[in-house]
């Protein structure tokens, strides 16, 4: 499998506040729907899910954003923001598993988990024109190694490759999955996404962010708005939560 090419598949920038912000401000032709990566070795003000920060270090972490045009797939525009999140997460998960030969899980909605700990995260943003999605920028941050020393709750992918070499090699595997999975229907995407979720259908403790209520239950599904369906042990019907409304304990 041929590696991605710098200057064609990959745009390299020396240092940026955020690869997502840079990509949105400098959109270029989107390679006939195949997309391209924006990569940097130093991200100073990166954002993660729910406003969390993601600051990269060139020695041990990867930071990049995949830029693609939704209109390349007629009939897929409806609910594209939800679809894009699942599609990108699934392609990242499966391509990393193939490339690294390790088990990768996704903690709902966008965290990359290795051995039950966070090794990375994603942030998917969609731009709209005339009521339709015009572009998608999917940011990805990954801990490639344990340097610098990671906190106890974090993990890494255990690869010694420099970040740009990692992107060139792994990116070709990602591209293979992207070009296949982008044609999957929504039901198939959701089913595969749920299969790879960390903690899914396992009895765990949760806390409501607004009320502080703690309860035991199981994550049993994802609804059409990408909200988590939690089945409390003490109740018969599941309850929907968005990403800011619930915490895993």
pLDDT digits (tens, 9 = 90+) for 72-128: 555 555 578 888 999 999 999 999 999 999 999 999 999 999 999 999 999 999 888
17-63 pLDDT per residue, tens? 899 999 999 888 765 567 899 999 876 654 555 455 544 555 688 99
**Average pLDDT over the chain, rounded to whole?**
88
Q: How far apart are CA 60 and CA 142, in angstroms?
A: 9
Write down the pLDDT at residue 247.
Answer: 93
Residue 70: both structure tokens together: 């939704």
pLDDT at res. 52? 52
> What angle, rounded to 10 degrees, do the helices at 186-195 and 80-100 form?
50
* d(C-alpha 95, C-alpha 93), whole Å: 6
CB atoms within 10 A of CB 1: 8
154, 118 in Cβ contact below 8 A? yes
CA dist 47 and 19 (Å) reads: 9
pLDDT cut 70: percent of the chain above it? 88
Backbone dihedral region for residue 79 (phi beyond 0: left; psi -120 to 50: alpha; all else: beta)? left
**Measured in Å, how far apart are the chain's first and last C-alpha atoms?**
41
Q: Are 201 and 218 in contact (CB under 8 A)?
A: yes
Strands 36-40 and 10-13: parallel
How many whole angstroms separate alpha carbon 149 and alpha carbon 154? 10
Selected residue with higher pLDDT from 97 and 224: 97
pLDDT (average), residues 216-233: 94
Does residue 199 have a pLDDT over 80? Answer: yes
Q: Of 32-46, 149-163, 190-204, 217-231, where does mean pLDDT reach its minimum? A: 32-46
Whether the upstream peptide bond of residue 188 has omega within 30° of 0, thus cis, is no
163-176 average pLDDT score: 96
Q: Which residue has the higher pLDDT, 8 or 93?
A: 93
For residue 27, the model assigns a pLDDT of: 86
């Amino acid at each position: 499998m041929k590696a991605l090419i710098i200057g064609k598949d990959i745009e390299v920038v020396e240092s940026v506040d955020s690869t997502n912000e840079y990509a949105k401000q400098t959109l270029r032709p989107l390679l006939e729907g195949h997309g391209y990566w924006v990569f940097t070795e130093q991200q100073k003000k990166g954002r993660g899910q729910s406003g969390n920060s993601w600051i990269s270090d060139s020695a041990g972490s990867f930071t990049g954003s995949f830029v693609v045009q939704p209109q390349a797939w007629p009939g897929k525009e409806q609910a594209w923001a939800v679809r894009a999140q699942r599609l990108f997460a699934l392609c990242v998960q499966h391509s990393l598993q193939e490339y690294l030969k390790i088990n990768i899980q996704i903690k709902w909605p966008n965290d990359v988990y290795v051995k039950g700990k966070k090794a990375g995260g994603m942030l998917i943003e969609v731009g709209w024109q005339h009521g339709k999605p015009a572009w998608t920028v999917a940011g990805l941050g990954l801990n490639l190694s344990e340097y610098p020393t990671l906190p106890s709750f974090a993990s890494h992918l255990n690869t010694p490759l420099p970040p740009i070499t990692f992107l060139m090699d792994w990116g070709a595997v990602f591209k293979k999955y992207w070009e296949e999975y982008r044609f999957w229907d929504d039901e198939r995407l959701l089913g595969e996404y749920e299969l790879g979720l960390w903690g899914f259908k396992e009895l765990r403790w949760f806390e409501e962010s607004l009320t502080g209520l703690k309860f035991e239950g199981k994550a049993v599904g994802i609804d059409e708005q990408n909200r988590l369906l939690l089945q409390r042990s003490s109740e018969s019907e599941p309850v929907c939560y968005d990403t800011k409304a619930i915490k895993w304990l």
